[in-house]
């Protein structure tokens, strides 16, 4: 049984609020696209609460509308979602010794944005724990799933340009990046990921660009961090 204190609930929801607002802006257009491929609001909510990959859901809808074979859709969405492996590796130290039900719920509700929020809190807030992190994840998930259901409900009456939908997701990442505590390592990670993604996009790497850019940023951050520690030890 998972027991959460009132302080944990308040802190987790407060941390999740910026992500929740962004998810409403993104989730409604995603729900609109879900309606275009024939999903009902209830199915859109269920899909969003269980699959829970915004990029994957946008991709599934786009590929379905383009008539892409199911096997190709599965392979494409699975490839884009492999970034979750990086999140698991980074978060694993924080779930050691945590009861399995709580650890499972936490692991099942991690996304790009909640990962960024929780990693920042784990690094800078000594009171941040897995309970609060899980509340952040679940609150974000409910906002995302509800917005998708709303989009699927009102989808036939809306006409939102695709460019607006795409930029809404980009805007969330920009806000999260701007809110980071900037250090030399953070700057190296951001710059490396940006350069690699842009370069790969220019050569036509497509959806692989984001994954490989993220990997390059992580590697660059590890190298920069190790170099910084060695320099400090030498002094």
Check residue 82 and give its pLDDT: 73
pLDDT in tens, the chain (235 residues): 677 788 889 999 999 998 898 888 888 888 888 888 888 999 999 988 888 677 778 777 777 777 778 887 787 777 767 777 778 788 888 888 888 888 888 888 888 888 888 988 888 888 899 999 999 999 999 999 999 999 999 876 766 665 565 565 566 566 556 656 677 777 888 889 889 888 988 888 766 677 678 778 878 877 887 776 666 655 5
What is the C-alpha to C-alpha distance for residues 59 and 36, in angstroms, rounded to an integer?
Answer: 13
71 Rama sector, left if φ>0, alpha if ψ -120 to 50, beta otherwise? alpha
Residue (of 14, 21, 23, 3) closest to 169 by Cα position: 23
Check residue 42 and give its pLDDT: 94
What is the C-alpha to C-alpha distance for residues 220 and 222, in angstroms, rounded to an integer?
Answer: 5
What is the C-alpha to C-alpha distance for residues 182 and 169, in angstroms, rounded to an integer?
Answer: 22
38 Rama sector, left if φ>0, alpha if ψ -120 to 50, beta otherwise? left
Backbone angles phi, psi at 224, to 5 degrees: -65, -40
Check residue 135 and give its pLDDT: 93
DSSP 180: S
């Amino acid at each position: 049984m998972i027991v959460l204190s009132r302080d944990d609930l308040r802190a987790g929801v407060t941390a999740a609020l910026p992500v929740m607002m962004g998810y409403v802006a993104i989730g409604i257009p995603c729900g609109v696209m879900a309606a275009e491929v024939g999903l009902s609001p209830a199915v859109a909510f269920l899909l969003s609460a269980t699959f829970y990959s915004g990029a994957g859901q946008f991709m599934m809808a786009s590929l379905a509308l383009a008539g892409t074979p199911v096997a190709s859709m599965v392979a494409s969405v699975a490839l884009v979602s492999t970034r979750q492996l990086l999140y698991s590796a980074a978060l694993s130290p924080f779930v050691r010794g945590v009861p399995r039900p709580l650890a499972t719920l936490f692991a099942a509700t991690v996304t790009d944005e909640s990962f960024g929020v929780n990693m920042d809190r784990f690094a800078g807030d000594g009171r941040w724990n897995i309970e609060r992190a899980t509340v952040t994840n679940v609150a974000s998930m409910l906002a995302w799933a509800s917005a998708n259901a709303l989009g699927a409900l009102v989808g036939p009456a809306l006409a939102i340009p695709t460019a607006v939908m795409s930029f809404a997701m980009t805007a969330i990442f920009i806000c999260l990046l701007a809110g980071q505590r900037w250090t030399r390592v953070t700057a190296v990670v951001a710059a490396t990921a940006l350069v690699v993604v842009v370069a790969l996009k220019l050569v036509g790497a497509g959806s692989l660009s984001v994954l490989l850019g993220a990997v390059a940023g992580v590697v660059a951050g590890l190298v920069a961090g190790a170099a910084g520690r060695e320099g400090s030890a030498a002094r």
